[in-house]
Amino acid sequence: MTSESGVKDREKVLILDGVRTPLCKAGTDLAGWNAVELGRMAFRAVLDRTGLDPGVFDEVIVGCVGQPSEAQNVARAVALAAGVPRSVPAVTVHRNCASGFEAITTAAERIRLGRGQIYLVGGTESMSNYPLLYSKSFTDWFASFAKAKSPAEKLAALVRFRPGMLKPRIGVVEGLTDYSCGIIMGKTAENLAVEFSISRREQDEFALMSHQRAIAARERLAEEISPVPSADFSKWIDQDNGPRENQSMEALGKLRPYFDRTAGTVTVGNACPITDGAAAMIVLSESRCRSLGLQAKGRLLDWKYAGLDPHRMGLGPVFATARLLEATNLRLSDFDLVELNEAFAAQVIACERAFASKEFAERELGRSLPLGTLDRERLNVNGGAIALGHPVGMTGTRLVLTLLEELRRREKTLGLATLCIGGGQGGAVAVERI
């Protein structure tokens, strides 16, 4: 296959294996663990599953969006906690919702550049532990109070205090709000619902399907999960807690629009929940894989990122996939399975329509033909983030992991993982099962 951007003698990049923690909605079973500890459990699990000596790695690369303030460069903290020797360096990468992709593709790029041979990568996110922040006015006041020396100065500072200063800034809300356009992610989904005329019913139906598929996939998903204890050791967590067995159109229909309360269609039921979780993966060169005598699960064919208008960031997968197809000379129909992250049902449906639209292709992608149809038999066959959840920094790694596992089970070959990225980007990764 002439798939690697035209250059054939480049080192092939393989994925040895991966594993993840269960995904739990923020504030529930995993809430007691911070991002370091979640990462530790996933990274230790992949080491234990593969039996690899943690000293073999050239570097540890971890994606994380909300870095814990107590563990800057969370990758280093995760690596040391997981038992990786001190001599192995570690770097945290951040491409917002694609940080878990970024960890994989950064490793792949280093391998292709000959900078290293084997990388321990993944993503970790504890959205439960996103902080409440003090406002700028309070921070300034606090600094002036701390600087005041004499009792008189202190008193003067005290007088300047206003209770309103204590109103917190909510980390998770700020994190999900785009800086350049100033709107929250849910609003970008509303934009797409309007642009592509996507009804509330269509969105809810998609959400229901996500839950039903995830419930049906319990046993399959268990294969990629390493069970973990809750932080107070009261509970053994061996499955994702997002999927609802009794999810129904009726229940979904009762929810009020969350982001646009007057005329919106996006609800918490047809959007992904904020979630905790971590995933780990081993990315290595074909030659290193051979010299270690290991059997890899898949090959990373190519990957692309693309930028677009932040107001409609949900279309990121279309733009990124277009570039990826171009680079690999593949067609959308060549892929046996597709994992397209379900940030919002409206956003996934918008992507489906854009993929199939000749007009969209001509206007936005500079192509005469549409990219092709994303039929739902191949799309997110084990459910997606609407049911499972979306720990932003780890999802990219999970998509690739889930995709490879399902290719293995179905004995299929080609897979596409793609996601939209807050801030107006898309990422797409093509893998091949070995």
Rounded distance, CA 99 to CA 121, Å? 11
Please say whether the beta carbons of 194 and 370 come within 8 A.
no
Give the DSSP per-residue string, 364-410: II--SS------TTTBSTT--HHHH---TTTHHHHHHHHHHHHHHHH
Question: Whose structure tokens read 């911070």?
Answer: 34
User: Which residues on adjacent β-strands are paired with residue 177?
Assistant: 184
31 binds other proteins, rule: CB under 8 A: no
236 binds other proteins, rule: CB under 8 A: yes
Q: How far is the CB of 220 from other proteins (least distance, A)?
A: 17
Helical packing angle, 345-356 and 185-195, nearest 10°: 40
76 binds other proteins, rule: CB under 8 A: no
Of the candidate spans 43-51, 105-113, 214-222, 412-420, the one that interacts with other proteins by CB under 8 A turns out to be: 43-51
109 vs 236 by CB, closer to other proteins:
236
Q: How far is the CB of 118 from other proteins (least distance, A)?
A: 16
Rounded distance, CA 161 to CA 356, Å? 58
Rounded distance, CA 125 to CA 102, Å? 14
289 vs 346 by CB, closer to other proteins:
289
49 binds other proteins, rule: CB under 8 A: yes
Of the candidate spans 230-238, 353-361, 369-377, 397-405, the one that interacts with other proteins by CB under 8 A turns out to be: 230-238
114 binds other proteins, rule: CB under 8 A: no
**4, 29, 37, 125: residue in contact with other proteins (rule CB under 8 A):** 37
Hey, what are 35's tokens? 């991002």
Q: How far is the CB of 28 from other proteins (least distance, A)?
A: 17
Of the candidate spans 177-185, 229-237, 379-387, 396-404, the one that interacts with other proteins by CB under 8 A turns out to be: 229-237
**12, 20, 25, 40: residue in contact with other proteins (rule CB under 8 A):** 40
Of the candidate spans 138-146, 168-176, 232-240, 330-338, the one that interacts with other proteins by CB under 8 A turns out to be: 232-240
220 binds other proteins, rule: CB under 8 A: no
311 binds other proteins, rule: CB under 8 A: no
Tell me 424's DSSP state: T
45 vs 121 by CB, closer to other proteins:
45
53 binds other proteins, rule: CB under 8 A: yes
Q: Is the dihedral of CA 328, 331, 334, 335 positive or negative?
A: positive
Q: How far is the CB of 249 from other proteins (least distance, A)?
A: 36
Rounded distance, CA 362 to CA 354, Å? 11
281 vs 338 by CB, closer to other proteins:
281
Helical packing angle, 35-50 and 74-81, nearest 10°: 50
Q: How far is the CB of 434 from other proteins (least distance, A)?
A: 21
**6, 83, 131, 168: residue in contact with other proteins (rule CB under 8 A):** 83
Rounded distance, CA 426 to CA 420, Å? 5
Residue 392: closest CA among 283, 273, 302: 273
235 vs 323 by CB, closer to other proteins:
235
Question: Whose structure tokens read 């990758």?
Answer: 75
Q: Is 367 exposed, middle or buried (0-12, 13-18, 19+ CB in 10 A)?
A: middle
The residues annotated with a catalytic role in the active site are 97, 390, 420
**171, 175, 229, 372: residue in contact with other proteins (rule CB under 8 A):** 229
24 vs 108 by CB, closer to other proteins:
24
223 binds other proteins, rule: CB under 8 A: no
**13, 15, 38, 41: residue in contact with other proteins (rule CB under 8 A):** 41
| Bridge-based pairing state of the strands 228-229 and 236-237 | antiparallel
Rg (CA), the chain: 22
37 vs 352 by CB, closer to other proteins:
37
218 binds other proteins, rule: CB under 8 A: no
Half-sphere exposure of 322 (CA within 13 A, CB side): 26
408 binds other proteins, rule: CB under 8 A: no
**1, 6, 27, 48: residue in contact with other proteins (rule CB under 8 A):** 48
Residue 386: closest CA among 239, 204, 256: 204
Residues that bind other proteins (CB under 8 A): 37, 40-41, 44-45, 47-49, 51, 53, 81-83, 226-227, 229, 233-236, 238
